[in-house]
Amino acid sequence: MSGTDRGRERLIETYRKKAEHYDVVSRLYPVPGYPQRAQRSRAVKELGLRPGDRVVDIACGTGLNFPLIEEAIGPGGRIVGVDLTDAMLARAENRVTANGWSNVSLVQADAAGFVFPGTMDAILSTYALTQVPECGQVIAHGADALCAAGRWVVLDLKIPDSTPRWLSQLAIAAVRSSASLDEWIARRPWESIRAAMQESLADSSWTELCFGTAFLAAGSGRGNVTSQERSPDPDGQKESS
């Protein structure tokens, strides 16, 4: 098994353990009092959603973004939620059933290998993409599937610039699994995300939030695909049970 595969296995095990209490614990994420809910709302607003839009939520977890997206797209829209961890998707499925949403598809897949369906109006990823080593590739694949002016928005944590290494380790240890912490800090994935957004999207923007501990990256599709090319099956991959 390669190092990347071992990393994926560890990550799945971590989120299997977290899944049951994720919704409650995430209210304190990454630390009590952190404006996570406000950041999440801001990220969804950046998508500029309209009724009927089709949205992919990459690494959707338990579907905490779904209510905000549903409110904007209505029953005529579509959500495709993608996640690697079965237990997180099972919680998302519960949320979908409890709300009676019939326009959500859940796909168990690695974001790195996910084939984006047809033409999408928007792609979102919150507090997750920096955990994917191939994050730049995910951005590029998503950009290719966006219709012109479709939006790609990433919200995630980062290390504030010029923070001493010992302090960042202490702070981030609270929120990321320690096994991958050194690798995450050394890799500085937010920089890869920023570069990939600039390269693959039009009008890319980068906003640091909460003293540089988080970022909101956004951009628009270059129109490689048109809305006429919309795939009839927006979720033509294996769905979770």
Ligand X SMILES: C[S@@+](CC[C@H](N)C(=O)[O-])C[C@H]1O[C@@H](n2cnc3c(N)ncnc32)[C@H](O)[C@@H]1O
Please identify, using beta-carbon distances, which residue of 109 and 143 lies nearer to ligand X: 109
3-state secondary structure of 55: strand
Please identify, using beta-carbon distances, which residue of 26 and 237 lies nearer to ligand X: 26
Binding mask 74-113 for ligand X (x = CB under 6 A): ---------xxx--x---------------------xxx-
**68-82 as b/e, with b when 16 or more CB fall inside 10 Å?**
bbbebbeeebbbbbb
Residue 132 binds ligand X, judged by CB under 6 A: yes
Which residues from 175-204 bind ligand X, rule CB under 6 A? none
Q: Which of 55, 64, 147, 193 binds ligand X (CB under 6 A)?
A: 64
Smallest gap, in angstroms, from Cβ of residue 226 to ligand X? Answer: 28
In sequence order, which residues have a C-beta less than 8 Å from that of residue 143 and are 6 or more positions away? 152, 200, 201, 219, 221, 222, 224
Smallest gap, in angstroms, from Cβ of residue 230 to ligand X? Answer: 24
Q: Cα separation of 29 and 42, whole Å?
A: 16
Burial of 170 (0-12, 13-18, 19+ CB in 10 A): exposed
Give the count of alpha carbons within 13 A of 5, CB side only: 2
Residue 11 binds ligand X, judged by CB under 6 A: yes
- Span interacting with ligand X, options 58-66, 95-103, 144-152, 207-215, rule CB under 6 A: 58-66
